């Protein structure tokens, strides 16, 4: 175990898979990935909805839980739910995904289910999302689970302050906020804004990453998928953001979120070791 508990978020540990691929399924087995994380002292791990659906269909979720427990992986995250506000086929597909995530959360003892909004222009009014998010919270609460909302600079809810506002408007005890440092930078949010707008105790998950000062490529989505950096190798003031999260009451475990061509090309054990070793120095003072 590392001095500060670290979570390998699903994209960090998935291997050579990107969000634009048709299925978010690792080329590495669950057992191989869990063994790598255990050997390096990670204490948390994330899983995507696609790999969880396959595991549920195969009846292998209980086996995954046994592997995680044996490896000392005590923090599990399941993701990713979108379209939870939609009607029609999009809404029906979202409910099917939610069923998978809830079943997986039951079996794996997940800390929470990650949700977000669609990759499109920010919406000017959060009101249409408030009641759907509240209902999502109620559905999860009925099964004893928590929800974290991830604002994304490429999505309808584009910044942490706006995500915090939506969580507050939903007003559910089992819904909290996820803060991804890449989205803080790309949304142009300052530390001062975070401290002024996010209530203490609302941040339940943090994803540490780094990025160049300016986005590379044609759009932000391309940048977030291909060009993230290991902590300390970009322009994000990670130490300052870590202290801000601590000021808001967050104490870990700390997620590490690396999506980049560089990370995906490395052998998985080497990539995970680098992600761990570049992150830990920023947590040393707490």
Q: Please report, for the domain that includes residue 92, its CATH number.
A: 3.20.20.150
> Regarding beta strands 75-81 and 203-208, do their DSSP bridges make them parallel or antiparallel, or are they unpaired?
unpaired
pLDDT at 39: 97
Is 201 part of any domain?
yes
pLDDT at 132: 98
pLDDT at 92: 98
Read off the pLDDT of each residue in 72-77 and give the average, rounded to a whole number: 97
pLDDT at 1: 52
Read off the pLDDT of each residue in 225-232 and give the average, rounded to a whole number: 95
At a CB cut-off of 8 Å and minimum separation 6, what does 182 contact? 153, 207, 209, 210, 211, 224, 228, 236, 257
Read off the pLDDT of each residue in 228-239 and give the average, rounded to a whole number: 97
Beta bridge partners of 79: 48
* Three-state DSSP string of 135-169: HHHHHHHHCCCCEEECCCCCCCCCCHHHHHHHHHH
Where residue 216 falls among pLDDT bands split at 50, 70, 90? confident
Read off the pLDDT of each residue in 34-47 and give the average, rounded to a whole number: 98
Number of domains forming the structure of the chain:
1
Q: Look up the domain containing 88 and give its range.
A: 6-283
**Cα–Cα distance for residue pair 203/45, rounded to 1 Å:** 18
- The answer to whether 276 and 45 are in contact (CB under 8 A) is no
Helices (H), the chain: 10-13, 30-40, 49-58, 61-71, 88-108, 127-142, 160-170, 181-186, 191-197, 220-226, 238-247, 261-265, 268-279
pLDDT at 219: 86
pLDDT at 3: 78
Is 1 part of any domain?
no
- Residue 39: CB atoms within 10 A of its CB come to 12
**Cα–Cα distance for residue pair 262/226, rounded to 1 Å:** 8
Is 227 part of any domain?
yes
pLDDT at 2: 61
Is 92 part of any domain?
yes
On the question of pLDDT at 24 being above 90, the answer is yes
User: Which 3 state secondary structure label does DSSP give 253?
Assistant: coil
Is 258 part of any domain?
yes
Is 165 part of any domain?
yes
Is 224 part of any domain?
yes
Global pTM reads: 0.96
User: Which 3 state secondary structure label does DSSP give 248?
Assistant: coil
- Tokens 């910044």, residue? 159
On the question of pLDDT at 189 being above 70, the answer is yes
- Residue 144: CB atoms within 10 A of its CB come to 10
pLDDT at 285: 81
Read off the pLDDT of each residue in 125-154 and give the average, rounded to a whole number: 97
Is 222 part of any domain?
yes
225: Cα within 13 Å, side-chain hemisphere: 14
- How does pLDDT run across 76-132, given as a tens digit for each residue? 999 999 999 999 999 999 999 999 999 999 999 999 999 999 888 999 999 999 999
Read off the pLDDT of each residue in 47-63 and give the average, rounded to a whole number: 98
Read off the pLDDT of each residue in 239-266 and give the average, rounded to a whole number: 97
Read off the pLDDT of each residue in 182-194 and give the average, rounded to a whole number: 96
Mean confidence (pLDDT) of the chain: 96
- How does pLDDT run across 162-181, given as a tens digit for each residue? 999 999 999 999 999 999 99
**Cα–Cα distance for residue pair 286/279, rounded to 1 Å:** 13
């Amino acid at each position: 175990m590392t001095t500060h508990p670290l979570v390998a978020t699903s994209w960090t540990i998935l291997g050579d898979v990107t969000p634009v691929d048709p299925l978010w399924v690792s080329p590495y087995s669950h057992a191989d990935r869990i063994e790598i994380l255990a050997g390096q002292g990670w204490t948390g791990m994330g899983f995507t909805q696609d790999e969880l659906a396959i595991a549920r269909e195969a009846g292998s979720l209980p086996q995954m839980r046994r592997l995680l427990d044996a490896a000392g992986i005590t923090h599990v995250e399941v993701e990713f739910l979108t379209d939870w506000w939609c009607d029609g086929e999009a809404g029906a597909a979202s409910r099917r995904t939610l069923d998978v995530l809830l079943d997986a959360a039951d079996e794996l003892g997940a800390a929470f289910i990650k949700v977000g909004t669609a990759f499109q222009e920010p919406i000017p009014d959060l009101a249409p999302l408030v009641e759907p998010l509240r209902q999502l919270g109620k559905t999860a609460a009925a099964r004893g689970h928590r929800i974290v909302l991830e604002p994304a600079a490429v999505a309808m809810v584009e910044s942490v302050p706006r995500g915090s506002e939506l969580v507050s408007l939903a007003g559910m005890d089992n819904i909290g906020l996820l803060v991804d440092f890449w989205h803080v930078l790309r949304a142009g949010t300052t530390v001062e804004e975070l401290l002024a707008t996010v209530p203490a105790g609302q941040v339940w998950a943090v994803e540490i990453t780094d990025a160049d000062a300016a986005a590379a490529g044609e759009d932000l989505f391309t940048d977030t998928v291909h060009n993230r950096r290991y902590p300390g190798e970009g322009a994000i003031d990670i130490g300052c953001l870590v202290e801000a999260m601590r000021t808001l009451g967050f104490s870990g475990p700390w997620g590490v979120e690396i999506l980049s061509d560089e990370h995906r090309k490395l052998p998985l054990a080497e990539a995970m070791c680098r992600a761990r070793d570049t992150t830990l120095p920023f947590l040393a003072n707490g």
